[in-house]
Amino acid sequence: MKSWWVILFSLALGSAQAQQSEKQFIRQLFDSSLVQGQSWPMLEHLCKKIGHRLSGSPQAQQAVLYTRTQMLRLGFDSVWLQPVMVPVWVRGPKEKAYLLVSKRTSGGYIQQQKIPVEVLALGGSIATPPGGLQAQVIEVAGLEALKKMRPEEVQNKIVFLNEAFDPRHISTFESYGHCVANRAWGAKEAGAKGAAGVIVRSMTHRIDAFPHTGAMQYAEGGRKIPAAAISTLHAEQLSKLLKEKNEVELYLEMHCESRPDTISYNVVGQINGSSPQARIIAVGGHLDSWDVGEGAHDDGVGCVHSIEALRLLKANGYKAKNHLRAIMFMNEENGLRGAVEYARLADVNKEDHLAAIESDRGGFSPRAFNVEADSSVIAGLQPWVPLLSPYGINSIQAGASGADVGRLKGKSELLMGFVPDSQRYFDFHHANSDVLEAVNKRELELGSAAIAALLYLIDQR
Amino acid sequence: MKSWWVILFSLALGSAQAQQSEKQFIRQLFDSSLVQGQSWPMLEHLCKKIGHRLSGSPQAQQAVLYTRTQMLRLGFDSVWLQPVMVPVWVRGPKEKAYLLVSKRTSGGYIQQQKIPVEVLALGGSIATPPGGLQAQVIEVAGLEALKKMRPEEVQNKIVFLNEAFDPRHISTFESYGHCVANRAWGAKEAGAKGAAGVIVRSMTHRIDAFPHTGAMQYAEGGRKIPAAAISTLHAEQLSKLLKEKNEVELYLEMHCESRPDTISYNVVGQINGSSPQARIIAVGGHLDSWDVGEGAHDDGVGCVHSIEALRLLKANGYKAKNHLRAIMFMNEENGLRGAVEYARLADVNKEDHLAAIESDRGGFSPRAFNVEADSSVIAGLQPWVPLLSPYGINSIQAGASGADVGRLKGKSELLMGFVPDSQRYFDFHHANSDVLEAVNKRELELGSAAIAALLYLIDQR
């Protein structure tokens, strides 16, 4: 496999003429995306006509139908649905939360203060008991610190996991990677130790009043306690109150519930390749989102990138040798059921993937492509960098592809991930602020063109 | 001069140890900016406590005092003001503008419709006559087309210059460069041909209702007519109405006026270098802004970048060999008087500039540095790229430095410009939307650190 890429690139490098025509066609793809692209109207539809699209919701179903219709309308050769059972979690009425602070005044009196805070139940959490939950808050630096605590320290308390993003990571995904275990496993750990509930500092650098939800999981058969994210602004405020030696209780009311699994779908569209040895070059994003905001950057953008990349190639008259496939994965956020099913069917149907690319890092200015492969394969891809660098893509580097196409590990020759600028991603991620207005039209269009160019370059080899 | 850089870099490249310590110190600068930087509170002060800062305004004067105090407070070795006379142009009460559209109905009747549109007087424009200006609108594709028209075609009409940004340029500054002559010289051309006024499509890719102001100039002794920018949304609407063969008049009311020049100041702060042969390494932005929004990206950011870059070096214990200087230029927007005076004084005082760097392209993620020099000098700077690329700066390239430091051409050995991602810049440029909220804190901090790293690398050579 390694030598295959290396040999092909050595051949390609020899041909200055081929390089020139590649350069010109990539320019044409970018022009086309920036002048008459369809990225923006498609994202606008997903965000404004449909809205957020949690697995199992009516909106997720609308998004299945919309993207299916869209790919048919664009003349893809075939468009099909892959049925998959997905979990159904419903938030119910908006959460209520406030702090009850007992301050000792200079005169020795105790003053009670009630301070509203913004929280969002974490996806998968149970509700609070009828009448809400009220308990003393104990701040814990993070999951590792919690693991070391004795049960009596947290028993019947609400554990407040307040691990902040480390701002020193240049890629914000690294900061997220270091913190997200608090959200995923905080309830499991705190619950096992007898805590009454858990609140987790929102997964963002930004200090504001938007809580950021996301997936959490209980231990199989373990004790379940309500789990919520608190906005960074209120996490800071709460931490300050606790540091000032106040006794702080949190009142929390959440009405969420898990319901029986329901049927949903991956949506797959394909433009057939002309070669008798055609393999599959796939690109995907996930159609589901959290149930707040509009799922714009996460991951309406990835769905739009995928459909638009194929459309751009088709609209510019490109006849691919390989099958070009756009995949709208269902249920990335809270189960990955769509990705698992796609990979299973790829096996069953003996589908041969030359490449699978994921876009699930937002619709910002393109900067790089990640490759999940050993260094010799990545070295073989470097001749593409000068073809992409005029558009701001300066690196083809070792790195994760994505949660969905990652399921094709060992099944796809190449696994790649689109890497846009990461600075703003976690400002919006899983929050009410992840709306169309947070996306810049040109940045989105550059991403679609970058992915189209990558598909083209892979297909040309 | 060429050989000087080339030789030094060859020497430097030989020393792996030096590279390692450079790498570490640059990491430290970025950590420091991201963890405990002062970029954000300084920009917040300029935007929220002071606001927009047109030359000659009370706010511009406040910004002079604030940045002077700030640099003194930060312990710069010397801080001084360079007095300079600046033009004073005052917008007066908000503009009023609406279209009067005469539509022919199917029954042959004429229907009059009044449609409000958003405009902003261009900086330097005269007011409309008392009672406003009302005249028929004629759309012209752009300044070049206008130059070819006969006077009788535009006489007593309002010329509507509707040249849109070409979206194909990847750098939005190229799109701006191709269109800005419409704004700068539209009134001069249209006035000479007898037009009653001119409205120019706002200088942005974005379609929205924010008009974007900016500088314009009349011919010396030429006929003066009122000149305004119209929002892209309303430019599109107006163009559509005209294409549908409607007769459209524009009512325009502007109360702006030019007043006598007044005194203002460049603000210069310096940290003295330790070498007896110390030269000057300067970095600057402009303190003035247009009189709308808060002058956040343009160019509060550049001022903050400059002060913060010096502060970061000082706070991290760096003792520069050369003098490090932060310059707050006054009047970049409508006269460049500060830059001209700075360059004049540099001559008078025989100041020896090793480098002058400008930040006037907004506070977005760092991507490159421009160098105004021939290719051998630029080649000599390439060893810096691997030191900066972990922070997203992938290119040290030929390109413009900036309007202010550009006045030091021939006086400074190196002229450089900070180049952040350009996609969003013209969404906000010279418009009411150029406010603090349009800036991402981390992107701003990365810029300050990138410039600090550049100052350090230049000083090390």
Q: State the amino acid at position B2 in one-letter form.
A: K
Among B270, B332, B260, B261, CA closest to B81: B270
Among A121, A132, A123, CA closest to A94: A121
The angle, 0 to 180 degrees and rounded to 10, between the axes of the packed helices A16-36 and A301-315 is 120
Q: For chain A, what percent of residues have pLDDT higher than 90?
A: 92
B292 and B438 Cβ atoms separated by less than 8 Å:
no
**Are A296 and A415 within one domain?**
yes
CA angle, residues B131, B136, B140, in degrees to nearest 5:
125
Determine, for residues A168 and B367 on separate chains, whether the beta-carbon distance falls below 8 Å: no
B95 and B128 Cβ atoms separated by less than 8 Å:
no
| Low-confidence residues in chain B, pLDDT < 70 | 1-14
Q: Give dist(CA A364, CA B299) in Å, integer.
A: 23
Q: Which contiguous run of DSSP H or E holds residue B85?
A: strand B78-90
Choose, out of B369, B385, B394, the residue to mutate when testing the contact with A (most A CBs < 10 Å): B394
Residues with Cβ within 8 Å of residue B147, at least 6 apart in sequence: B189
ipTM of the complex: 0.94
Q: Give dist(CA A140, CA A162) in Å, integer.
A: 6
Sheet of strand B227-230: strand arrangement: B110-116, B96-104, B247-253, B133-140, B158-161, B197-201, B227-230, B119-121
Determine, for residues A421 and B424 on separate chains, whether the beta-carbon distance falls below 8 Å: no
**Are B67 and B124 within one domain?**
no
Among A405, A411, A261, A270, CA closest to A340: A405
| Pairing assessment for the beta strands B158-161 and B197-201 based on DSSP bridges | parallel
**Are A192 and A120 within one domain?**
yes
**Are A140 and A172 within one domain?**
yes
Handedness of CA B133, B136, B141, B142 (dihedral sign): negative
User: Taking the CB of residue B269, how many other CB atoms lie within 10 A of it?
Assistant: 25
**Are A19 and A48 within one domain?**
yes
Question: Would you call A399 an interface residue with chain B, using a CB distance cutoff of 8 Å?
Answer: no
The residue segments making up the domain with residue A109 are: 92-255
Question: Would you call A41 an interface residue with chain B, using a CB distance cutoff of 8 Å?
Answer: no
What distances in angstroms separate CA A400 from CA A60, A370, A404, one per listed residue?
26, 6, 11
Q: For chain A, what is the HEC assignment?
A: CHHHHHHHHHHHHHCHHHHHHHHHHHHHHHHHHHHHCCHHHHHHHHHHHHCCCCCCCHHHHHHHHHHHHHHHHCCCCEEEEEEEEEEEEECCCCCEEEEEEEEECCCCCEEEEEEECCEEECECCCCCCCCCEEEEEEEECCHHHHHCCCHHHHCCCEEEECCCCCCCCCCHHHHHHHHHHHHHHHHHHHHHCCCCEEEEECCCCCCCCCCCCCECCCCCCCCCCCEEEECHHHHHHHHHHHHCCCEEEEEEECCCEEEEEEEEEEEEEEECCCCCCCCEEEEEEECCCCCCCCCHHHHHHHHHHHHHHHHHHHHCCCCCCCEEEEEEECCCCCCCHHHHHHHHHHHHCCCCEEEEEECCCCCCCEEEEEECCCHHHHHHHHHHHHHHHHHCCCEEEECCCCCCHHHHCCCEEEEEEEEECCCCHHHHCCCCCCCHHHCCHHHHHHHHHHHHHHHHHHHHC
Determine, for residues A421 and B167 on separate chains, whether the beta-carbon distance falls below 8 Å: no
**Are A305 and A447 within one domain?**
yes
CATH of the domain at B125: 3.50.30.30
DSSP, residue by residue, B116-138: E--EEEPBTPPPPPTT-EEEEEE
Residue B243 burial (C-beta neighbours within 10 Å; 0-12, 13-18, 19+): exposed
Among B47, B66, B433, CA closest to B231: B433
Q: Give dist(CA B356, CA B200) in Å, integer.
A: 34
**Are B55 and B99 within one domain?**
no
Q: What is the pLDDT of residues B225-235, one digit of tens each?
A: 999 999 999 99
Q: Give dist(CA A266, CA A89) in Å, integer.
A: 19
Q: Give dist(CA B132, CA B139) in Å, integer.
A: 20
pLDDT at B154: 98
Question: Would you call A316 an interface residue with chain B, using a CB distance cutoff of 8 Å?
Answer: no
Tell whether omega for the bond before A299 is within 30 degrees of 0, i.e. cis.
Answer: yes
Site of tokens 């701003």: B444
Question: Would you call B389 an interface residue with chain A, using a CB distance cutoff of 8 Å?
Answer: yes
DSSP bridge pairs for A251: A98, A134
CB-side exposure of A343: number of CA atoms within 13 Å?
16
Determine, for residues B427 and A443 on separate chains, whether the beta-carbon distance falls below 8 Å: no
pLDDT at B13: 53
The mean pLDDT of A146-160, rounded to a whole number, is 98
Task: Report the number of distinct structural domains present in chain A.
Answer: 2
For residue B188, give the 3-state DSSP assignment.
helix
**Are B373 and B451 within one domain?**
yes
Question: Would you call B223 an interface residue with chain A, using a CB distance cutoff of 8 Å?
Answer: no
Site of tokens 């923006």: A40
Residue A391 has pLDDT above 90, yes or no: yes
Which residue of chain A comes nearest to B425, CA vs CA? Answer: A440
CA distance B365 to chain A (A): 8
- For residue A423, which residues of chain B lie inside 8 Å, CB to CB? 365, 440, 442-443, 446
Last residue of a domain, one of A232, A255, A278: A255
Last residue of a domain, one of A207, A229, A255: A255
Token representation of residue A33: 């995306």
Which residue of chain B comes nearest to A385, CA vs CA? Answer: B394
Q: Give dist(CA A28, CA B186) in Å, integer.
A: 32
DSSP B95: P
Tell whether omega for the bond before B299 is within 30 degrees of 0, i.e. cis.
Answer: yes
Residue A211 binned pLDDT confidence (cut-offs 50, 70, 90):
very high
**Are B250 and B113 within one domain?**
yes
Average per-residue pLDDT for chain A = 95
For residue B290, give the 3-state DSSP assignment.
coil
Determine, for residues A167 and B392 on separate chains, whether the beta-carbon distance falls below 8 Å: no
Residue A8 has pLDDT above 70, yes or no: no
Q: Burial code of A296-307, b = ≥16 C-beta within 10 A, e = fewer? A: bbbbbbbbbbbb
Residue A5 has pLDDT above 70, yes or no: no
Determine, for residues A440 and B421 on separate chains, whether the beta-carbon distance falls below 8 Å: no
CA distance B30 to chain A (A): 7
A72 and A79 Cβ atoms separated by less than 8 Å:
yes
- For residue A440, which residues of chain B lie inside 8 Å, CB to CB? 423-424, 427
Residue A63 has pLDDT above 50, yes or no: yes
- For residue A164, which residues of chain B lie inside 8 Å, CB to CB? none
- For residue A446, which residues of chain B lie inside 8 Å, CB to CB? 170, 423
Question: Would you call B449 an interface residue with chain A, using a CB distance cutoff of 8 Å?
Answer: no
Residue A31 burial (C-beta neighbours within 10 Å; 0-12, 13-18, 19+): middle
Token representation of residue B271: 């940290």
Interface of B with A in 428-447 (CB under 8 A): 440-443, 446
Question: Would you call A262 an interface residue with chain B, using a CB distance cutoff of 8 Å?
Answer: no
User: Taking the CB of residue B48, how many other CB atoms lie within 10 A of it?
Assistant: 12
Q: Give dist(CA B58, CA B49) in Å, integer.
A: 13
**Are B30 and B116 within one domain?**
no
Q: Which candidate from B35, B170, B440 shows the least CB-CB separation from A392?
A: B170
Question: Would you call B427 an interface residue with chain A, using a CB distance cutoff of 8 Å?
Answer: yes
Residues with Cβ within 8 Å of residue B240, at least 6 apart in sequence: none
A172 and A166 Cβ atoms separated by less than 8 Å:
no
CATH of the domain at A72: 3.40.630.10
Choose, out of B421, B444, B445, B448, the residue to mutate when testing the contact with A (most A CBs < 10 Å): B421
Token representation of residue A199: 């609140």
**Are A224 and A285 within one domain?**
no
pLDDT at B230: 98
| Greatest Cα-to-Cα distance within chain A, rounded to the nearest angstrom | 87
Which residue of chain A comes nearest to B368, CA vs CA? Answer: A392
pLDDT at B108: 75
- For residue B35, which residues of chain A lie inside 8 Å, CB to CB? 167-168
Sheet of strand A78-90: strand arrangement: A78-90, A257-271, A323-329, A280-286, A353-358, A412-420, A366-371, A395-398
Residue A105 burial (C-beta neighbours within 10 Å; 0-12, 13-18, 19+): exposed
**Are A251 and A367 within one domain?**
no
Last residue of a domain, one of A227, A255, A283: A255
Q: Which candidate from A167, A170, A390 shows the least CB-CB separation from B170?
A: A390
